[in-house]
Amino acid sequence: MRILWVCLGVIALTLGTIGIVLPLLPTVPFLLLAAFFFARSSERLHNWLITHPRFGPPIEDWNRSGAISRRAKILATVSVAAAFGLSLALGLRPMILMIQAATLCCVLLFIWTRPES
C-alpha cells in the first residue's frame, strides 16, 4: 500500500510542479494532496516536501490557518479570467459559458474568503 501512496504523491507533486508554469493548473491543491499521500507513505518525502523552500510555505500556511497568500489569490484570479476569456474566444455555447462562469465565481469566492498568510 505504501508504494501506491508514494506513486500517488509523485503524480500529485508532478501536477503541482507543472501548475507553477501552466496557469490553468492549480499548484497548491496538488501540493496539499502530495503532502497527504507522502505523510502516509514516506516520512522522508513528506519532510522534504514541507521543508522545501518553494513548495513548503503554501502547505504550511494552509495547514496552520487555511490561508492563501495574496500573490496566489491574484494568480488564481488571473488564471480564472484567462480560462474564461479563452472559452469566450473559442465561442463556446452560452449554456456552457454560464455553467463555467458560475463555477469559476464559486471558486474565486472560496479563494478570496480565505485568510491571507
Distance from C-alpha of 85 to C-alpha of 20, rounded to nearest angstrom: 20
pLDDT at position 92: 95
pLDDT digits (tens, 9 = 90+) for 39-82: 999 999 999 999 999 999 999 999 999 999 898 899 889 889 99
Identify the burial level of 40 via C-beta atoms within 10 angstroms of its C-beta, where 0-12 means exposed, 13-18 middle and 19 or more buried: middle
Query: Would the pLDDT of 27 be above 90?
Result: no
Q: How far is CA 107 from CA 51, 62, 111, 112, in A?
A: 28, 16, 6, 9
pTM: 0.77
Mean pLDDT on 18-45: 89
Q: Return the residue matching grid coordinates 509523485.
A: 10
